[in-house]
């Protein structure tokens, strides 16, 4: 108890030599596993606490209005959270209960994605959750696009990414829900506008609206709508040489997006 806590704060939450559990229960809490990487942290409140044989036993409830966060996000805010006092980051690598003179919710509002307005035609989660190795591919389902998809898969694999199309999954009763879910979870979305397919146009609009990194490819620049022609695109030929060039171009674009 009270490790990495200022002495004057610890004094406010002590009852003699013991922690003042009733006062501590009034504070919002960060429940943080040890580490500064992809560990998941949650916000909540201690609901019950007691001391038994020198140990503090407590029950807690997670705040449903605050999405789970990665420790890396919090670590980037360690100065604001007053968790930067020790050179070896003991705040992040020791099991303890500390008290900080910090407005927790105000601090988190600066770094946590807020709730977003959700559409009625399909469902998206209240808080986004991106799979950082996922590439979603939006393209016509015709057989002639099979080799093109293979070229995209090769580019993705070269960047340690995994590419998927909506016809490869069946998670919802309606295909539009699977399509939107695939876009929403993706780190990168590739849209093939060849043939001016209206479904792909619709999916490209969703991807842009959700703020995803979108790579536009096409066999003909005339298939790109006027409103999108100001965006960079990759043009390819649907033959062996053209698809090989597409793989190389996509690999370079993905590496740029990933910061490699």
pLDDT at position 171: 58
Could you count the other beta carbons within 10 Å of the beta carbon of residue 205? 15
What are the 10-residue block averages of pLDDT along the chain, 260 residues in total?
88 89 91 90 91 89 85 86 74 86 82 62 75 94 93 97 84 74 94 95 93 95 89 95 97 92
pLDDT at position 87: 60
Burial of 33-70, coded b for 16+ CB within 10 Å and e otherwise, reads eebbeebebbbeebeebeeeeeeeebeeeeeeebbebe
pLDDT at position 142: 87
pLDDT at position 111: 65
pLDDT at position 117: 64
What the block records as the tokens of 118 is: 């959700």
Ordered DSSP codes for 65-115: TS--EEHHHHHTTTTTTT---STT-HHHHS------SS-HHHHHHTTSPPP
pLDDT at position 112: 59
What the block records as the tokens of 207 is: 């991807």
Could you count the other beta carbons within 10 Å of the beta carbon of residue 191? 26
pLDDT at position 223: 94
pLDDT at position 213: 95
Percent helix, percent strand, percent coil in the chain, to nearest 5: 35, 25, 40
Distance in angstroms (rounded) separating the CA atoms of residues 111 and 165:
31
Rounded to two decimals, the pTM is: 0.57
């Amino acid at each position: 108890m009270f490790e990495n806590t200022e002495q004057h704060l610890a004094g406010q939450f002590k009852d003699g030599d013991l922690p003042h559990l009733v006062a501590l229960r009034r504070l919002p809490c960060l429940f943080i596993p040890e580490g500064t990487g992809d560990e998941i942290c949650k916000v909540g409140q201690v609901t019950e606490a007691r001391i038994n044989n020198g140990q503090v036993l407590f029950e807690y409830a997670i705040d449903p209005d605050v999405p789970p966060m990665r420790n890396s996000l919090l670590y980037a805010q360690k100065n604001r959270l007053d968790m930067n006092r020790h050179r070896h980051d003991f705040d992040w690598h020791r099991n303890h209960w500390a008290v900080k003179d910090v407005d927790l919710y105000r601090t988190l509002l600066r770094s946590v994605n807020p709730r977003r307005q959700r559409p009625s035609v399909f469902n998206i989660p209240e808080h986004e959750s991106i799979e950082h190795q996922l590439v979603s591919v939006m393209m016509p389902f015709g057989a002639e696009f099979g080799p093109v998809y293979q070229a995209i898969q090769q580019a993705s694999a070269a960047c340690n990414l995994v590419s998927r199309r909506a016809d490869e999954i069946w998670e919802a009763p309606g295909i539009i829900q699977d399509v939107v879910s695939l876009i929403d979870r993706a780190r990168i979305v590739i849209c093939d506008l060849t043939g001016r397919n209206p479904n792909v146009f619709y999916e490209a609009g969703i991807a842009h609206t959700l703020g995803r990194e979108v790579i536009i490819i096409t066999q003909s620049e005339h298939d790109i709508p006027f409103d999108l022609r100001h965006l960079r695109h990759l043009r390819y030929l649907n033959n062996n040489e053209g698809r090989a060039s597409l793989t190389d171009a996509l690999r370079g674009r993905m590496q740029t997006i990933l910061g490699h």
